Structure 1
Amino acid sequence: MTSCSRCRTLLADEPVTAWRIAALALPALGVLAAEPIYLLFDLAVVGRLGALSLAGLAIGGLVLALVSSQLTFLSYGTTARSARFFGVGDREAAVGEGVQATWLAVGLGLVVVVAVQALAVPVLDVISGGGPIADAALPWLRVAILGAPAIMISMAGNGWLRGVQDTVRPLRYVLVGFGISAVLCPSLVYGWLGLPQLGLTGSAVANVIGQWIAALLFCRALLSEQVGVRLQPAVLRAQLVMGRDLALRTLAFQACFVSAGAVAARFGAAAVAAHQVVLQLWNFLALVLDSLAIAAQSLVGAALGAGRLGHAKSVAWRVTLFSTAAAAVFAIVFAAGSAVLPGLFTSDPAVLDEIAVPWWFLVGQLTVAGVVFALDGVLLGAGDAKFMRNATLASALIGFLPLIWLSLGYGWGLVGIWSGLSLFMVLRLAFVGWRTVSGRWLVVGTG
């Protein structure tokens, strides 16, 4: 039996079981969780250098995160396109999408390096207000941004490997990269193991080395497939079109959450602290649910590529069911622990008083989020990026952003901000729910 016929048999005969979904979702969750866990470790290492170094890391890291988050289409868009070819049994074309995405990652990464090096000083001055914090952040950012092409190569690598339903190798590569960074970070910051003591800059050097090691592992995986590595302008253009839509969608998220933080800060330190604690919990839970959405992306894309509409619908239904059930469990846990769990994050009475408002909004949103994130994965797997862009922009402009800024004008505080986030989620549910039920996403083939 050829590899192509094995692929078709897999899609035709293997049921969409909980085990099959978990086999894709759990390693994907490991990849998603690895970076935030490492960042916490990095903060702990740098934090011992003092408040100024920690502030410099925070500001420099914010710039790097804003840049890299805008280019996540290299992962999500590549998964959608690669999975369709995998579903039709054309592994070479599926991997070929990864080749073109990797070339795109290298090109965009170099542009980002040049742009950030040129604009680092004014950008840091705007964000931090200049002064000692900007001075501390500048050398860290100038070194750390050299890892931007590697970050993007890893995104592309994650994309095509997920497309061929392999989420285990990306986890291994990411763990190797972050593991090496975790050893080098304190060694270079403090001068351990005979290495130079670089202070805050040592953190950036460790990050860059780990990122490039992971990127090289993804490149090795690509080359081991023995496919052509020439540039294909038509494929690059198609990837850029999908990337444009996904980048605009990401920009809408960023505008909302940056605005929410800015407005929360206007209501005092206790309010912004409470907002930040609950928002970090929201982000953590989103990571868990996103791992199921990644499984949906890979399975739906492959099913549609193979022309198996019933299989794609089955994936959509089952992943949504599992995601909603997981979100409901989280909601019950956070509701039951509402009197105890906030105390794990702060002992400040003022913050604890404020935290009750966003906490209960979080509990109320979770089951909605479970459905929304799962259907996001289904539609992204179908390559429905234009609709996802429009739905997210509309939800942000109609729901989230108006309530955020009205909260500032009328003094609604965290109630108004989190009402905006809740309305944002409900509107997204309405959009993606309608789209899924309509069946317009069920477009077969590889085009």
Structure 2
Amino acid sequence: MKPEAGRRDLTAGPIGRTLLLFALPTLGSSVLQSLNGSINAIWIGQFLGERALAATTNANIIMFLLVAATFGFGMAATILIGQNMGRRDIDAVRRVLGSALGLFAVISTLTVGIGWWAAPAILRALATPAEVYPLALAYLRVIFVAMPPGFIAVLLTMALRGVGDSITPLKFMALGSVLDVALNPVFILGLGPVPALGIEGSAVATLIANSGSLLALIAYLYAKDLVVRLRGPEWRYLIPTPDLLKAIVVKGFPMGLQMLVVSTSALAMMGLVNRHGTATTAAYGAANQLWTYIQMPAMAVGAAVSAMAAQNIGAGQWERVDRITRAGLRMNLLLTGALVLLVTLLDRHVLWLFLGSEPGAIDIAARINLIGGWSFILFGVSMVLAATVRANGAVVGPLVILAIAMFPVRFGLANALAPMLGADAIWWSFPAGSFASMLMTIAYYRHGGWRKGRLTPVTAEECKEQALAEGQPTQKAMPVG
């Protein structure tokens, strides 16, 4: 059967080349998203110092915790939009879009209120250093105000991707990133008539960038009369119907749980890091910037493997599914291994960008990277195998493995070894968690029974979203954990 226009047939042809071509757009999008956060971290580190960088490290992880589960619902809406678009049912596309927008409007409003109110208590629970606390609170509260336009903008770009348009989201994602990066020094330093706002200026820049890119995107949608828009009577779709709300929640819940496990683990680890002082917290934030890029190939390859495996499972080509998995493992080892080597060789030169002339913090960050950076090769093995498993509808097994690796293993070891190793116990817990996850995932892949009968229909688009559910819900990289 000839594939639909714009859709790639993943059940035939050379596996390695197809896998790479499928993964590259996802990788490019991830790099663009993360560059925004990295450049802003450079501005903060260079202009305001390690205390400010430590403050944003704490604040960003809290922000991700509050939005993680929410964006499982956004991914579910993307899947439903894609399926309805495949049936050429435009009215159904707009019904899903309206329901998702209505849901997100309520959730974003609640998030701002809860986040503003709970931020001081959360920062204290994380043992945020006293000299960092006021900076983190000031930054975090402005960031919460910036979140609603960011929520809606990301949802609209996800919806555009669901109808097959990957170029428009990239353009407006780039616009928001450029605005954010350009405005950061203006508001931090107070260039021209703008007052110097310090760390709050970075958050104000994000607020303006989120709002500006959202308004530009909405204007474009209506100027071009694209499918992803509401007019006239269609505005009533903003009130979610029970059936659509149920579909979004049921599909989004497993993906939201994955993201929630990752962000909760990151929050727990942040609490341990903070107990070792401001320099260690800033160093950890800088090392996380490096790790954000190291983990990208594994996530992109995992998304591609999952989408390819889903189509081949649907076609009954199980021998090809195994070959896709092996190709994904080889690609991960090559790409992630090369990145780990490069970052290890150049780490001090790159870390200087975030930490400025703080030799103590740079030494700590280099040690963090030396001990923990290589573990992302193991992380990639787990990502690829779990991606294949998800392609047959098995999401509970990978979720349980992720939770065990993150909490009893990683967090447990970091706590247990702290009296003996000090801060090094935290850094060694990363390879320990990745190794445990890899062993459990290999065992589940070989003996878990996930190949037996699919319980629910799974599409390539759904698998790709599930594989990216540990990814980037707010146009910024998720914390590494």
Q: What range is the shorter-chain TM-score in?
A: 0.7 to 0.9
| TM-fit CA distance, 1:84 | 4.2
1:327 and 1:369 in contact (8 A); partners too: no
1:324 to 313, 330, 345: 330
Structure 1 residue 175 and structure 2 residue 188: aligned?
A: no
In structure 1, what is the equivalent of residue 197 of structure 2?
Answer: 198
1:83 and 1:164 in contact (8 A); partners too: yes
| TM-fit CA distance, 1:63 | 2.6
2:295 and 2:336 in contact (8 A); partners too: no
| TM-fit CA distance, 1:112 | 0.2
1:79 and 1:381 in contact (8 A); partners too: no
1:150 and 1:212 in contact (8 A); partners too: yes
Structure 1 residue 407 and structure 2 residue 425: aligned?
A: no
Distance 1:350 1:188, change over 3 A: closer
1:32 to 25, 30, 47: 30
Higher helix fraction (1 or 2): 1
RMSD: 4.4
Q: What is the CA–CA distance in structure 1 between the aligned matches of 2:130 and 2:16, rounded to whole Å?
A: 54
User: Residue type matched to 1:369 in 2?
Assistant: F
Q: What is the CA–CA distance in structure 2 between the aligned matches of 1:248 and 1:284, rounded to whole Å?
A: 23
Q: What is the CA–CA distance in structure 1 between the aligned matches of 2:186 and 2:341, rounded to whole Å?
A: 42
Q: What is the CA–CA distance in structure 1 between the aligned matches of 2:397 and 2:373, rounded to whole Å?
A: 26
Q: What is the CA–CA distance in structure 2 between the aligned matches of 1:291 and 1:91, rounded to whole Å?
A: 30
Distance 1:139 1:363, change over 3 A: closer
Q: What is the CA–CA distance in structure 2 between the aligned matches of 1:221 and 1:384, rounded to whole Å?
A: 36
Identity within the alignment, %: 18
2:393 and 2:458 in contact (8 A); partners too: no
1:30 and 1:171 in contact (8 A); partners too: no
In structure 2, what is the equivalent of residue 444 of structure 1?
Answer: 457
| TM-fit CA distance, 1:90 | 5.1
In structure 1, what is the equivalent of residue 465 of structure 2?
Answer: none
2:291 and 2:373 in contact (8 A); partners too: yes
Structure 1 residue 106 and structure 2 residue 105: aligned?
A: yes
User: Residue type matched to 2:431 in 1?
Assistant: W
1:300 and 1:378 in contact (8 A); partners too: yes
Structure 1 residue 418 and structure 2 residue 420: aligned?
A: no
| TM-fit CA distance, 1:110 | 1.0
Q: What is the CA–CA distance in structure 1 between the aligned matches of 2:11 and 2:429, rounded to whole Å?
A: 50
2:128 and 2:274 in contact (8 A); partners too: no
Q: What is the CA–CA distance in structure 2 between the aligned matches of 1:92 and 1:17, rounded to whole Å?
A: 36
Unaligned runs of 5+ in 2: 353-358, 463-481
2:74 and 2:158 in contact (8 A); partners too: yes
2:302 and 2:383 in contact (8 A); partners too: yes
Secondary structure of 1:43's partner? Answer: helix
1:236 to 228, 239, 245: 245
| TM-fit CA distance, 1:297 | 5.4
In structure 2, what is the equivalent of residue 140 of structure 1?
Answer: 139
Distance 1:38 1:440, change over 3 A: same
| Structure 1 residues 165-223: Cα deviation after superposition (integer angstroms, max 9, x where no partner) | 44332221210111122222222333335444433322222101212333345555497
Distance 1:82 1:407, change over 3 A: farther
2:400 to 371, 390, 414: 390
| TM-fit CA distance, 1:133 | 3.4
User: Residue type matched to 2:249 in 1?
Assistant: L
Secondary structure of 2:402's partner? Answer: helix
Q: What is the CA–CA distance in structure 1 between the aligned matches of 2:363 and 2:335, rounded to whole Å?
A: 24
1:80 and 1:380 in contact (8 A); partners too: no
Distance 1:381 1:98, change over 3 A: farther
Distance 1:171 1:345, change over 3 A: same
| TM-fit CA distance, 1:145 | 1.0
2:409 and 2:433 in contact (8 A); partners too: yes
| TM-fit CA distance, 1:284 | 2.0
Larger RCO (CA under 8 A, 6+ residues apart): 2
Distance 1:28 1:329, change over 3 A: closer
Give me the TM-score of the superposition, normalised by structure 2. Answer: 0.72
In structure 1, what is the equivalent of residue 294 of structure 2?
Answer: 285
| Structure 1 residues 326-378: Cα deviation after superposition (integer angstroms, max 9, x where no partner) | 4334325645986x445445696998799679747654651x43343234445
Distance 1:20 1:434, change over 3 A: same
| Structure 1 residues 256-288: Cα deviation after superposition (integer angstroms, max 9, x where no partner) | 444445556778999888877665544322223
1:392 and 1:428 in contact (8 A); partners too: no
Distance 1:172 1:377, change over 3 A: farther
Q: What is the CA–CA distance in structure 1 between the aligned matches of 2:402 and 2:98, rounded to whole Å?
A: 29
Aligned length: 439
Structure 1 residue 224 and structure 2 residue 245: aligned?
A: no
1:70 and 1:251 in contact (8 A); partners too: yes
Bigger drift between 154-163 and 32-41 goes to 154-163
